[in-house]
């Protein structure tokens, strides 16, 4: 009987410890989302706990430097130890290794080759791939590079550029016409990139190679910036018009899952719209057609 009571107390104690940990993590999350820090009552309101409980948790976190108290402004802020932990995550995260299981799932869902691209010196460079099981498949080998203006992955990466950055890439690389479907006019490209931003994915419709289609969506980092483009590529005969919406939705979902696993976040649409308007203003002033 004594043994049972002890076990029950231990279980209750562990339960209380887990609850305290969950509450402390909620406090850290609230502080991380605040740029200027938060007062005690503000934190209590956000996390839904009594101020006395919040203060006890804050002082515990402060003892290990996960939070700090700014006496001048009477606010609590994220501490240096939280930065140390976050930096360890940033050092150890490997985008390709993290993305590969999701890419395999995308191949299973779509039946076509999945690719991961980053930008390098104005090119879209393939850093990883999971091949389709079809005998006939579209493959740009890892390490290979494609032009940004006529590839789905490249358009996703270009769509985040400022007008100045876009103009520099156009000056350096031009708009080579690889097929009869390639975009070869700056104004048309800008219009196309605005559409990419609006719908959240890009399409290469035989623009790099005849008979090949590709759909791509962005992967974001913690600042809401595009860190990579996830794409699916295959023959037009299989990526037919009737399937494009379904495939695009799958690519977007998978890119979103990778973003979350990477610790990233999608940017605020309002901020994106402001950025687009600023880009259009720059375009009116500094057109490089």
For 108-166, how does the pLDDT look when each residue is reduced to its tens digit (9 = 90+)?
A: 999 999 999 999 888 898 888 998 887 655 566 777 788 999 999 999 999 989 899 99
Provide the pLDDT confidence category of residue 233 given band limits of 50, 70 and 90: very high
Query: What pTM, to 2 d.p., does this model score?
Result: 0.65
Residues 51, 100: one domain? no
Residues 260, 169: one domain? yes
Residues 257, 174: one domain? yes
Count the domains in the chain: 2
Which residues constitute the domain of residue 233?
A: 93-285
Position 120 scores a pLDDT of 85
Residues 50, 129: one domain? no
- The torsion angle over the Cα atoms of residues 25, 26, 31 and 33, rounded to 10 degrees, is 110
pLDDT over 60 at 24, yes or no: yes
Residue 236 and residue 179 in contact, taking contact as beta carbons nearer than 8 Å: no
The C-alpha R_g of the chain, in whole angstroms, comes to 24
CATH number of the domain bearing residue 9: 1.10.10.10
The structure tokens listed for 181 are 């479907």
Residue 110 and residue 235 in contact, taking contact as beta carbons nearer than 8 Å: no
Residue 194 and residue 276 in contact, taking contact as beta carbons nearer than 8 Å: yes
């Amino acid at each position: 009987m004594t043994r049972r009571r002890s076990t029950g107390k231990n279980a209750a104690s562990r339960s209380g410890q887990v609850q305290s940990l969950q509450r402390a993590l909620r406090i850290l999350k609230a502080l991380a989302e605040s740029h200027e820090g938060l007062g005690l009552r503000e934190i209590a309101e956000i996390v839904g706990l009594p101020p006395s409980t919040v203060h006890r948790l804050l002082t515990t976190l402060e003892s290990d430097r996960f939070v700090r108290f700014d006496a001048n402004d009477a606010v609590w802020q994220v501490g240096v130890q939280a930065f140390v932990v976050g930096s360890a995550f940033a050092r150890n995260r490997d985008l390709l290794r993290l993305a590969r299981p999701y890419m395999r799932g995308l191949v299973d869902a779509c039946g076509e080759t999945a690719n991961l691209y980053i930008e390098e010196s104005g090119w879209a460079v393939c850093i990883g791939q999971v091949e389709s099981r079809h005998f006939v498949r579209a493959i740009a080998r890892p390490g290979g590079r494609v032009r940004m203006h006529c590839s789905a992955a490249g358009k996703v990466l270009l769509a985040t550029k400022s007008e100045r950055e876009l103009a520099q890439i156009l000056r350096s690389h031009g708009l080579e016409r690889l097929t009869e479907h390639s975009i070869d006019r700056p104004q048309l490209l800008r219009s196309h990139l605005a559409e990419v931003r609006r719908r959240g994915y890009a399409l290469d419709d035989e623009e790099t190679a005849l008979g090949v289609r590709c759909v791509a969506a962005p992967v974001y980092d913690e600042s809401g910036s595009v860190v990579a483009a996830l794409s699916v590529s295959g023959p037009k005969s299989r990526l037919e018009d009737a399937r494009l919406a379904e495939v695009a939705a799958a690519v977007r979902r998978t890119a979103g899952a990778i973003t979350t696993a990477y610790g990233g976040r999608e940017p605020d649409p309002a901020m994106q719209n402001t950025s687009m308007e600023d880009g259009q203003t720059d375009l009116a002033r500094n057109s490089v057609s």
